[in-house]
Amino acid sequence: VNVLTIVPSEFLCFDESMVKYYGKHGCKQFLKGKPIRFGYKIWSLNTDTGYLINFEIFQGKNTTTNETYSKLFGKSAAPLVSMLDEIPQDELPYQLFFDNLFTSPALMKHLKDRGYGSTGTVRINRLPKDCPLSSKKDMQNESRGSFQCKIEKEDGIFVARWKDNSVVTVASTSYGIEPIASVKRFSQSEKKYLHIQQPFVIKQYNHHMGGTDLMDEDISTHRIGIRGKKWWWPLFTWLIDLGTTNAWRLLRLSGNKMTKLTFRREIVQCYLTRYKTPPALPGPSTSRKVFVAKNKNSLRYDGLHHYVIPTEKRRRCANRLCSSVGRTACKKCDVGLCVKCFENYHKLQ
């Protein structure tokens, strides 16, 4: 399935991810404060539930980014705009969330003109110098839960500054200050929980921003443990884990409550059933029978490529209600089946 054709949520987040690698390679990066500090850096566009839509491996100077986008929005934000060029535009407007590494007024105005809403934390040096908000130093002296907000009328960019443990500044073209929420925070000085005010734009950002971190968490839970010495091996195993995680996320959207571990086991059992003949081992041949996995229901009832084939030896029919012995079998399931039982055997009763 091409992930670019499926966008299962209107809430998208853009962030950087890491693939662990400790060898020597020009693309290896070090990111302080990340769970994986050494490895390949991946620009990731995810839904807020962790489903990956598009990605790009950071390659330093050799990264194939659009030069026009790099000049307008910076080298970090250019991959985001390039990825948006490739996803379906039928379900606009999408709501985009990103952190202060990418946020700038120029990027938010561009996204708004294209029909995207955007929300992100913003660095002080990227705000206009005449922005009438109180300075971060002055806000630090305010009580917890205090906030200020302004709106840039020409481009419609809303900016809010909120005091929590620290002062955070968020810009948005989609959300404002209302409705104001009440959140619970622990006060170290008073040794108790307090209820403080939280602007709506902050609430939306906190709720939808963690999609890339969710993807990293899903992959790390049952990561492929086979190690290799080639530089590309971590990326190869990461892609397999990623495909499995994406498929599991789509399964969950359909209402199925299967766990990640059970889902991975189902995939493994399907492949073991399909490719069940192990390679021949070196040395003298043995007459011992090789263990063959039993046919899984996921193959039996999938309705694809089940054909009646003749067999040299007579085989007992796999249908429990039939006791006949014949020379026909199912090619995919590799079980003996008489012609009259073939259709009923592959129907889920």
Contacts of 168 by beta carbon, 8 Å cutoff, 6+ apart? 121, 161, 162, 202
The per-residue pLDDT for 131 is 79
CA distance 214 to 226: 23
CA distance 28 to 349: 54
pLDDT confidence bin for 292, thresholds 50/70/90: very low
Specify whether the CB–CB gap between 328 and 338 falls below 8 A. Answer: yes
Q: Residue 169 pLDDT > 50, yes or no?
A: yes
CA terminus-to-terminus distance, the chain: 29
The per-residue pLDDT for 290 is 42
DSSP state, residue 126: G
Concatenating the DSSP letter of every residue in 73-123 gives H-TTTHHHHHHHTTS--TTPPPEEEE-TTT--HHHHHHHHHTT-EEEEE--
266: Cα within 13 Å, side-chain hemisphere: 13
The per-residue pLDDT for 288 is 46
* Amino acid identity at 204: Q
CA distance 37 to 146: 35
CA distance 337 to 318: 6
The per-residue pLDDT for 128 is 80
Q: Which whole number is the average pLDDT over 209-214?
A: 90
Element (H, E) at 182: strand 181-187
CA distance 47 to 181: 24
What is the percent of the chain where pLDDT is above 70? Answer: 91
CA distance 52 to 8: 10
- The chain-wide mean pLDDT, for the chain, equals 85
CA distance 320 to 292: 20
Whole-number Cα distances in Å, 288 to 280, 281, 284, 285, 291: 13, 13, 12, 9, 9
Query: Using one digit for the tens of pLDDT, what is the confidence trace for 220-261?
Result: 998 888 888 899 999 999 999 999 999 999 998 888 889 999
The per-residue pLDDT for 238 is 93
Whole-number Cα distances in Å, 223 to 216, 220, 237, 245: 10, 5, 8, 10
Q: Which whole number is the average pLDDT over 287-305?
A: 63
pLDDT confidence bin for 279, thresholds 50/70/90: low
Q: Residue 330 pLDDT > 60, yes or no?
A: yes
Which candidate, 157, 154, 149, 156, places its Cα nearest to that of 178?
149
pLDDT confidence bin for 338, thresholds 50/70/90: very high
pLDDT confidence bin for 45, thresholds 50/70/90: very high
Cis preceding linkage at 93, omega within 30: yes
The per-residue pLDDT for 295 is 54
* Amino acid identity at 330: C
pLDDT confidence bin for 283, thresholds 50/70/90: low
Q: Which whole number is the average pLDDT over 323-348?
A: 90
The per-residue pLDDT for 263 is 93
Element (H, E) at 331: none
Q: Which whole number is the average pLDDT over 75-89?
A: 85
- Burial classification of residue 234, based on how many CB atoms lie within 10 Å of its CB (0-12 exposed, 13-18 middle, 19 or more buried): buried
Q: Which whole number is the average pLDDT over 133-142?
A: 82
Q: Residue 289 pLDDT > 70, yes or no?
A: no
Q: Which whole number is the average pLDDT over 193-200?
A: 87
pTM above 0.95, yes or no: no
CA distance 179 to 202: 11
pLDDT confidence bin for 293, thresholds 50/70/90: very low
Specify whether the CB–CB gap between 117 and 96 falls below 8 A. Answer: yes
Q: Which whole number is the average pLDDT over 313-321?
A: 89
CA distance 287 to 88: 57
